[in-house]
Amino acid sequence: MLADRADQLAGKVVVDISNPLNFETFDSLVVPADGSAAAELAEQLPDSKVLKAFNTNFAATVATGKAGDAPTTVLVAGDDADAKALLVGIVSAGGLQAVDAGSLKRARELEAAGFLQLTLAVGEKVAWTGGFSLN
């Protein structure tokens, strides 16, 4: 259980990259309508600095630094400004764009965007090499 690791993760930055969707049906998120997997994680790790990031990025876009023909953008949400600045710096140093997407409450929208992107890719309506980019 994650709660068993709470002491080990206290004071640490924890990045939630999950997309909490129903993988059997691909028709819904499996978190409450006003919540997110990241918020649930933050509840289980109250002394950690929980961020939401990378869930809107396919592996190919992180590896190549491109979402289609545009640069890959990693959206980062969280309540700790220093933790977000640290992750934004790491992402930028890795050659990707990073954008502060707001508080951890924005994780809900990031998870919805990830859900949409995944369902479109599974339905072969977008390529696994595509994704979101902000210019």
Which CATH number belongs to the domain containing residue 105 in this structure? 3.40.50.720
pLDDT value of position 10: 97
Residue 1 lies in a domain: no
Residue 134 lies in a domain: no
Residue 30 lies in a domain: yes
Residue 36 lies in a domain: yes
3-state DSSP assignment of residue 102: strand
CA atoms within 13 A on the CB side of 29: 22
3-state DSSP assignment of residue 50: strand
Number of structural domains in the chain: 1
Residue 109 lies in a domain: yes
Residue 135 lies in a domain: no
Beta strands in 5-133 (DSSP E): 13-16, 49-52, 66-67, 70-71, 73-78, 97-102
Residue 2 lies in a domain: no
**CA nearest neighbour of 80 among 44, 46, 49, 42:** 49
CA atoms 81, 83, 87, 92: torsion sign: positive
The whole model's pTM is what? 0.94
Residue 70 lies in a domain: yes
Q: pLDDT tens, 12-71?
A: 999 999 999 998 888 899 999 899 999 999 999 999 999 999 999 999 999 999 998 889
Residue 39 lies in domain:
8-122
